[in-house]
Structure 1
């Protein structure tokens, strides 16, 4: 049986902050509008946020971000979260948690972006810079990041089950071909830094342009192909081609990137937790991945 999850609300955050960081006792606390699912995020005054893992699996990421984000930030062309303090378990909450500096911006949506092509180029430049940072002693793929950066084989069973469950709704044969092509395109390069969850909700926009990249919980050093999923989940048309040209990876890495995008889309559509809108969006991702594989085959 899974352990019961703690109730994470403003009252809990107030008690934690007051007990562990009394210097911030007088600052107001309120939920962030898009507070996330893996972690719950709250405003602390006007210039800080409090971020609490929502389950034990995500708590492994706290110390990693505290250690590595300050080391990565100087080498990146866009702002990333700045840890200010790390909280300890307390007040009935069982895990460590973080206080960050607030970053202005809104999560990426097409209506907020002035030029999707320029956005794609900025994102590609960020990922290239991230890959160029010295990976020595960086966190290898594992439980802390749900094996991002590792071999896709870890999700082979999930994918094949999802394809079987969806065989009357998708082109199961084509999906199997894309997946097996991704499995065969094994990673043989030296480990590099990757973000691990390059999704619209983790990309901030200000004044129409990409302004920051947040949530490095699934980051690590290894195969960077997982960072390519944004190609099919958000970019389109000429912006997709601009991103492809700028991010500079080989065909095998693109094949694995399609595998990562397909994995997430398949398990979302086959699962029972996604709402209809999200299931439809992920079904579109499946179609895009299959169509592109056919074009490049």
Structure 2
């Protein structure tokens, strides 16, 4: 099929196809019901029973990513201070669906849609401890397990700023005047000097569609590890701006450890960039809840007691 958007599928993964693949390869699961959870950019996700999540690549680019998850996630068990899925079922492609797929332990929680700032602030310390520990995983071991190096080229600040200007033009009609002014002001002052920082191991895609919260709004799980890579820590530290309100950020950075201002600036930029993409996809999918959360994330990322 011809793809128009970055998130368009190369493969449609129907429930009937999933049943055939899972039940034929893992007969111990044949008594469990299968339910579609949703589509991300790279994978279609199904719940099997109440115990397992299965992810099926829907884009060709996701094949190597899911293979990497299967190899690398088990090695991270001692580095996880917040629950994350662990691969248990390694599915193989066939003539009908020539892709590998994975079944994981189920991590409970809901996407943080509409969570109040006070609830978000309660996760500041837990998120900081999680990333502080995760970022100590040996980068060389990650690379040997298939993790790419800075595959999104996050250090190219000038190129990212130009993309954000294009996204801004696409989103302009969906923004309120206050939002337009805030975004325009932010983009005008973004510094585009190249950034330098020691490389660390990263989750690589830490936004609200890859996080789960409990009934109190506290982070209960981190999911979708397909973008693991070695690169700039600002990629993950963006969660301090995208998920946490301004008043919780000092606590986050006090727990994580010293972070240079250059890194904080790049973290904020990523915290704005990613939800712009999510917002555009939500508009295309007519998903108002996700669109509203993406809009709120951008507003939160731009908010601060200090100048940008």
TM-score (norm 2): 0.79
Secondary structure of 1:77 counterpart: coil
- The residue aligned with 1:254 is 264
Distance in 2 between residues matched to 1:37 and 1:140, nearest whole Å:
18
Residues 1:136 and 1:222: Cα distance change in structure 2 (over 3 Å): same
Q: Within the alignment, does 1:52 sit opposite 2:56 as a pair? A: yes
Distance in 2 between residues matched to 1:173 and 1:112, nearest whole Å:
26
Structure 2: 5+ residue runs without aligned partners?
4-8
2:56 and 2:102 in contact (8 A); partners too? yes
- How many residues of Structure 1 are paired with residues of Structure 2 in the alignment? 289
Q: Displacement, 1:43?
A: 2.4
Secondary structure of 2:53 counterpart: strand
Q: Displacement, 1:71?
A: 0.7
Q: Could you tell which deviates more after superposition, 53-62 or 149-158?
A: 149-158
Q: Displacement, 1:12?
A: 0.8
- The residue aligned with 2:185 is 174
- The residue aligned with 2:6 is none
Q: Within the alignment, does 1:94 sit opposite 2:102 as a pair? A: no
- The residue aligned with 2:250 is 241
Q: Displacement, 1:295?
A: 2.0
- The residue aligned with 1:14 is 19
Residues 1:211 and 1:286: Cα distance change in structure 2 (over 3 Å): closer
1:29 and 1:42 in contact (8 A); partners too? no
What CA deviation, in whole Å up to 9, does each residue of 1:242-293 have, x standing for no partner?
Answer: 223323321111110111122224445567526455445444444444443x
Residues 1:51 and 1:16: Cα distance change in structure 2 (over 3 Å): same
Q: Within the alignment, does 1:195 sit opposite 2:203 as a pair? A: yes
- The residue aligned with 2:225 is 216
TM-score (norm 1): 0.81
Structure 1: 5+ residue runs without aligned partners?
none
Residues 1:35 and 1:6: Cα distance change in structure 2 (over 3 Å): closer
Residues 1:148 and 1:194: Cα distance change in structure 2 (over 3 Å): farther
Distance in 2 between residues matched to 1:257 and 1:244, nearest whole Å:
12
Residues 1:65 and 1:160: Cα distance change in structure 2 (over 3 Å): same
Which of 231, 238, 241 is residue 232 of structure 1 equivalent to? 241
What CA deviation, in whole Å up to 9, does each residue of 1:23-77 have, x standing for no partner?
Answer: 43x2323225456453222222332221112222223311110111011111221
Q: Displacement, 1:235?
A: 1.9
1:81 and 1:103 in contact (8 A); partners too? yes
- The residue aligned with 2:127 is 123
Distance in 2 between residues matched to 1:101 and 1:270, nearest whole Å:
31
Q: Within the alignment, does 1:66 sit opposite 2:70 as a pair? A: yes
2:207 and 2:274 in contact (8 A); partners too? no
Superposition RMSD in Å: 3.2
Distance in 2 between residues matched to 1:291 and 1:206, nearest whole Å:
25
Secondary structure of 1:161 counterpart: helix
Residues 1:148 and 1:131: Cα distance change in structure 2 (over 3 Å): farther
